[in-house]
């Protein structure tokens, strides 16, 4: 099933929202099915590039398939990645916002969704993340299985995160992944992405809870239509797998 723009099960509504968190106020993008009933919901954790048009389109796709989707800008504190940033600058920005800060922002976004009780089924909430955001989704899924029922991790950074200033965040594995009690769908770029050793380790630790797919010809950024790395066949397959996984675990029908 190759999902096209505008295709789906529901008409949708979408808008920018301002979320009042425990520490700050930040922007988020919200897309919802335009239909009666309480739908399953997804908190989407962005990569270091922040709240991009590509992520807004992704949230709209999820909404058309029957899911509330909120995308907070996890890098609002540092302004995200400027145009023309070097790999070193991107790495520095990626390390500039702590895991704890981003997890708190995701939880605040989830609370924001739950406040929209007329459209949200609080018992059916999942996490979706891309890149660094996928790392955060995995960490949060391990810590809050009662709140988040599944994790979709797109090209997750599961190894150590080393900053130019010498600081190092530990690998997601093994301590956190061993604690994950919810189903995980992880989708990796196979070219110049996460090492095959880290992918294999992730697969082994997750065991039957994990569904791991690697796209050998795809490079990081393969879902971004504005990127030279955009890979149409891989992107179509990813969207298909994500929707089928969410349908199975959360269910798209309203209650």
pLDDT in tens, 212-225: 999 999 988 888 88
Kindly indicate the confidence band of residue 173, based on its pLDDT and cuts at 50, 70 and 90: low
Q: Classify residue 170: in a domain, yes or no.
A: yes
What is the number of domains present in the chain? 1
pLDDT at 176: 60
pLDDT at 95: 77
Q: What is the CATH number of the domain that holds 82?
A: 3.40.50.1820
Looking at 19-23, 36-40, 107-111, which range is the least confident one? Answer: 19-23
3 state DSSP class of 193: coil
Q: Classify residue 7: in a domain, yes or no.
A: no
Residues constituting the chain: 255
Q: Classify residue 221: in a domain, yes or no.
A: yes
Q: Where are the beta strands (DSSP E) in the chain?
A: 12-20, 25-33, 39-45, 67-72, 120-130, 151-154, 161-162, 168-169, 184-189, 210-215
Residue 159 has pLDDT above 80, yes or no: no
Residue 177 has pLDDT above 90, yes or no: no
> Which residues span the domain enclosing 97?
12-249
Q: Is the pTM of this model over 0.95?
A: no
Q: Classify residue 69: in a domain, yes or no.
A: yes
Reference 63, options 135, 120, 105; nearest CA is 120
Residue 121 has pLDDT above 80, yes or no: yes
Q: Classify residue 46: in a domain, yes or no.
A: yes
Looking at 65-69, 155-159, 187-191, which range is the least confident one? Answer: 155-159
HEC-encoded secondary structure of 34-96: CCCCCEEEEEEECCCCCCCHHHHHHHHHHHHCCEEEEEECCCCCCCCCCCCCCHHHHHHHHCC
Q: Across residues 68-84, what is the average pLDDT? A: 84
Q: Classify residue 96: in a domain, yes or no.
A: yes
Higher pLDDT, 252 or 49: 252
Q: Classify residue 243: in a domain, yes or no.
A: yes
Q: Classify residue 6: in a domain, yes or no.
A: no
Residue 9 has pLDDT above 80, yes or no: yes
Work out whether the CA dihedral 176, 178, 182, 188 comes out positive or negative.
positive
pLDDT at 1: 37
Kindly indicate the confidence band of residue 106, based on its pLDDT and cuts at 50, 70 and 90: very high
Chain-wide mean pLDDT for the chain? Answer: 87
pLDDT at 2: 44
């Amino acid at each position: 099933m190759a999902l096209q723009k505008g295709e789906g099960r529901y008409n949708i509504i979408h808008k920018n929202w301002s979320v009042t968190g425990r520490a700050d106020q930040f922007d988020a993008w919200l897309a919802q099915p335009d239909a009666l009933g309480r739908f399953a919901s997804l908190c989407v954790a962005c990569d270091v590039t922040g709240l991009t048009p590509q992520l807004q389109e992704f949230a709209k796709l999820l909404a058309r398939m029957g899911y509330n989707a909120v995308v907070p800008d996890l890098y609002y504190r540092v302004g995200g990645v400027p145009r023309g940033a070097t790999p070193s600058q991107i790495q520095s920005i990626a390390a500039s916002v702590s895991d704890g800060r981003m997890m708190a922002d995701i939880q605040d976004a989830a609370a924001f969704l739950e406040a929209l009780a007329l459209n949200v089924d609080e018992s059916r909430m999942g996490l979706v993340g891309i890149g660094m955001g996928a790392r955060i989704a995995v960490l949060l899924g391990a810590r809050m299985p009662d709140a988040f029922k599944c994790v979709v991790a797109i090209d997750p950074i599961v190894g150590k995160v080393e900053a130019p200033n010498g600081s190092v965040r530990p690998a997601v594995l093994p301590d956190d992944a061993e604690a994950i009690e919810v189903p995980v769908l992880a989708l990796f770029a196979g070219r110049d992405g996460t090492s095959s050793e880290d992918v294999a380790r992730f697969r082994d630790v997750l065991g039957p809870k994990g569904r791991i797919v690697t796209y050998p010809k795809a490079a990081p950024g393969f879902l971004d239509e504005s990127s030279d790395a955009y890979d149409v066949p891989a992107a179509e397959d990813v969207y298909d797998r994500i929707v089928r996984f969410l349908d199975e675990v959360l269910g798209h029908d309203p209650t």
